[in-house]
Structure 1
Amino acid sequence: MKQQIGNIALVVANYDDAIAFYTQKLQFNLVEDSDLGGGKRWVLVSPPNSNGTNLLLAQASNDEQAACIGNQTGGRVFLFLQTNDFWRDYQLMKANGVVFNEEPREEAYGTVVVFQDLYGNKWDLLQLNKNRLQQAPNK
């Protein structure tokens, strides 16, 4: 059996603001932006050369959803953006005004730094070291 996660829903305050952040500051691709009627849209963004997992930008439609914007995981890191060139992406994101919570650091598994999206959700920018990549199961 083969399975994969296709989309991860991210509750946002505004479709267009979120699209601008992900495509301009993080250099993601806008995969799809379809009008579903009634003010809803199907908006998918994805890092360049991604493996097929997308972020589904879901604009909050009620107070309960709006209360989760920026804190979808209770203050923990929410998503992990893996890269093959940490310093290239870190410098580009920094130049684009992305907010970082710390200085980059070397860990046993690779180089990492925590940053925030436009709503304050925490992300890791991460480049796994070669030993870690070799240990990953190849399925």
Structure 2
Amino acid sequence: MVRDYDEAIRFYVEGLGFTLVEDLPQGDKRWVVVSPGEGTSLLLAQADTGQQQARVGDQTGGRVGFFLNTDDFDRDHARMVEYGVHFRETPRDEVYGRVAVFEDLYGNRWDLLQPARA
């Protein structure tokens, strides 16, 4: 869930490098879909009730709930930092790959992850 369609589109497209797949009017709402590629999509739904608005930025209870895989960690990390994406830690190498936790514009936690090569 997002607070505002346009600010969320800007963040995901300009900040994270996603593609805007659809932005269609749907009554008083919009059908907004963004994609990092490879068949994965994310529906951006504007919160409209008090309960929904209270959950924006805390949709996973403070845990990492989303993973953004990359084939070039350093390139994407640098682009995101330049855009102003907030990383909660410095990049680290784990057995499963190179990773760093970042927050989206509302505070939801994501992993930027370049999986280890087999």
- Please classify the TM superposition score into its range, dividing by the shorter chain length: over 0.9
Match of 1:29 in 2: 19
1:117 maps to 2:89: no
Structure-2-length-normalised TM-score: 0.98
State the percentage of identical aligned residues: 58
- C-alpha separation in 2, matches of 1:52 and 1:62: 30
C-alpha distance after superposition, 1:44-96 (max 9, x if no partner): 0011xx12121100000100101110010000001100000000100111111
1:14 matched to which residue of 2? 4
The CA RMSD over aligned residues, in Å, is: 0.6
Identify which of 81, 84, 93 aligns with 2:80. 93
In the other structure, the counterpart of 2:93 is 106
C-alpha deviation, 1:103, in angstroms:
0.3
Tell me the secondary structure at the aligned position of residue 45 of structure 2.
strand
Give structure 1 stretches of 5+ with no counterpart.
Answer: 1-10, 132-139
Q: Distance in 1 between matches of 2:40 and 2:69?
A: 12
Kindly tell me the number of residue pairs found equivalent between the two proteins. Answer: 118
- TM-score w.r.t. the length of structure 1 is 0.83
- Correspondence for 1:45 among 29, 34, 42: 34
Structure 2: which 5+ residue stretches go unaligned? none
1:73 pairs with one of 60, 65, 69: 60
The residue type paired with residue 42 of structure 1 is W
AA aligned opposite 1:115: F
Q: Where in structure 1 do 4 or more consecutive aligned residues deviate above 2 Å?
A: none
Amino acid of the residue matched to residue 74 of structure 2?
Answer: W
In our comparison, the structure showing a higher alpha carbon Rg is: 1
